[in-house]
């Protein structure tokens, strides 16, 4: 459902968004306009456009006279994000379970195979990317462009939250729980699919240590090139 990226500020936005979603750009990392302009061969005005869009989506915080930084979500925000995801994703799995098509289930199962391969290879970058894509695929197949867009931003914020609050460098979102959700959708069992999705998101949230904040700064040149 994502539209084709063409303009310079959209390219910058997408590259930064992806780096955040894959947990390569850590919360608290400064996004220097001059460095970004050099990396993407654009004017600082284009960079400011992208940073402003990222700020509107809650992924970047811009401080006067200090610059832009990857946002550092609070514990309260972390809980709100998971609450919002539960509400939205319950609606999506219910909608998809109401009339699951063969094509939809085939796409979900093919995606699960990619997740299993990534886990087997211990490819952390692919694991993180595919885990988020699974949830977005459900939104796409459920036919809600609006909820897909909202969920896309929530998943990116989840990556920020995980980067700050997860005790160990592991991911709780994997093909086993995803597989159970797909099985319930394929059977048209909306109530069970809803229950499994809620349990799955609770599992991810409870893996977080919401008592301690951890940040790490990383050089933009290494991340975005």
Which phi-psi region, left, alpha or beta, contains residue 192 (left: φ > 0; alpha: ψ -120 to 50)? alpha
More confident residue, 77 or 170: 77
Residue where a domain terminates, one of 71, 94, 116: 71
Asked whether the beta carbons of 116 and 175 are under 8 A apart, the reply is yes
pLDDT above 90 coverage of the chain, percent: 60
Q: What is the CATH number of the domain that holds 39?
A: 1.10.10.10
In sequence order, which residues have a C-beta less than 8 Å from that of residue 147 and are 6 or more positions away?
Answer: 88, 91, 92, 139
Pair (93, 25) in one structural domain = no
Nearest residue to 181 (alpha-carbon basis) of 83, 89, 79: 89
H/E stretch holding 30: strand 30-31
CA 108/CA 69 separation, integer angstroms: 35
Q: pLDDT-derived band of residue 127, with 50, 70 and 90 as boundaries?
A: confident
Determine the average pLDDT of the residues in 87-108: 97
Count of beta carbons in the 10 Å neighbourhood of residue 166: 17
Beta bridge partners of 31: 68
Tell me the backbone φ, ψ of residue 51, rounded to 5 degrees: -65, -35
Strand segments, DSSP code E, in the chain are 30-31, 60-63, 67-70
At 6-54, the pLDDT tens digits run 788 889 998 898 888 777 888 889 999 999 999 999 999 999 999 999 9
192 and 93 in a common domain: yes
Give the pLDDT of residue 171. Answer: 52
- Does any domain span residue 220? no
Res 81: pLDDT: 95
Secondary structure element (H or E) that encloses residue 134, with its range: helix 124-142
| Gap between the Cα atoms of 9 and 53, Å rounded | 9
Q: Which domain holds residue 64?
A: 8-71
- Residue 3 falls within a domain, yes or no? no
CATH number for the domain spanning 88: value is: 1.20.120.530
Distance CA 193, CA 183 (A): 8
């Amino acid at each position: 459902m994502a539209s084709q990226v063409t303009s310079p500020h959209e390219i910058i936005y997408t590259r930064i968004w992806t780096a955040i979603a894959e947990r390569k750009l850590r919360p608290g990392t400064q996004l220097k306009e001059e460095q970004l302009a050099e990396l993407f061969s654009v004017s600082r005005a284009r960079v400011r456009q992208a940073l402003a869009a990222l700020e509107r989506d809650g992924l970047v915080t811009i401080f006067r006279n200090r610059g832009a930084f990857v946002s550092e979500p609070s514990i309260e925000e972390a809980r709100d994000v998971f609450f919002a995801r539960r509400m939205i994703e319950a609606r999506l799995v219910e909608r998809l379970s109401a009339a699951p098509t063969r094509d939809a289930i085939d796409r979900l199962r093919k995606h699960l195979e990619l997740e299993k391969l990534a886990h087997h290879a211990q490819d952390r970058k692919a694991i993180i990317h595919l885990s988020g894509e699974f949830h977005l695929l459900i939104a796409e197949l459920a036919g809600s462009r609006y909820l897909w867009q909202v969920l896309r931003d929530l998943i990116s914020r989840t990556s920020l939250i995980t980067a700050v609050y997860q005790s160990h460098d592991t991911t709780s979102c994997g093909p086993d729980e995803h597989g159970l959700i797909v099985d319930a959708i394929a059977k048209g069992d909306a109530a069970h699919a809803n229950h499994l999705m809620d349990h799955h998101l609770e599992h991810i949230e409870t893996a977080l240590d919401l008592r301690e904040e951890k940040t790490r700064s990383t050089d933009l040149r290494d991340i975005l090139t």
